[in-house]
Copies of this chain bind each other. A is one copy, B any other.
Amino acid sequence: MQNILILLQEHKIQPTPQRIATTQAVLDAGSHPSADEVWERVKTDHPTVSRATVYNTLNLLVEKGVLKTQIIKEGKVVFDPCVEPHHHFIDEESDEIHDIPWDALKVKGEDSLKDFEVREYQVVLRGRRKKK
């Protein structure tokens, strides 16, 4: 995609085939992939790309503000292409993570916490996704 190239340039990331493939993969992955999940995806099209490069690239993308990390799943960091504030619902059956729009929930009282200077917050919900 041409879009990926532009995206990288906009964030002052020198585009390389490996970085383009990794960025493509993390964006295509949809639901909050882990680094190794991204690596698996990258390898299908670019089998020679090393694990270290995928890790490096993902960390770079986070540093440059293209992605955000979420610490929600046990033992894994997952990457979220949505860098704007929002909440998360974890389906305990499928282990899938779903974004909840910021406006769907309203939190009151966070600025009454005397001892704490809150930089960001989110609601983390767990349960089952309803089948239709």
Q: Chain A residues in contact with chain B, CB under 8 A?
A: 71-75, 77, 89, 91-92, 98, 100, 104-110, 112-130
Contact = CB atoms under 8 A, between A and B. Distances in A.
B124 A100 contact: no
Given A121-B124, A124-B122, A100 B113 contact: yes
Contacts of A104: 109, 112-113
26 contacts: A71-B72, A89-B116, A98-B116, A104-B109, A104-B113, A105-B107, A105-B108, A105-B109, A106-B109, A108-B108, A110-B123, A113-B125, A114-B130, A115-B129, A116-B127, A116-B128, A116-B130, A117-B128, A117-B129, A119-B126, A120-B126, A120-B127, A121-B124, A121-B125, A122-B123, A123-B123
A104 to B, nearest CB: 6
Given A116-B130, A118-B125, 4 more contacts: A71-B71, A75-B77, A91-B116, A115-B130
Contact of A124 (B92, B124, B127): B124
B108 A106 contact: yes
A64 to B, nearest CB: 19
Nearest to A74: B71
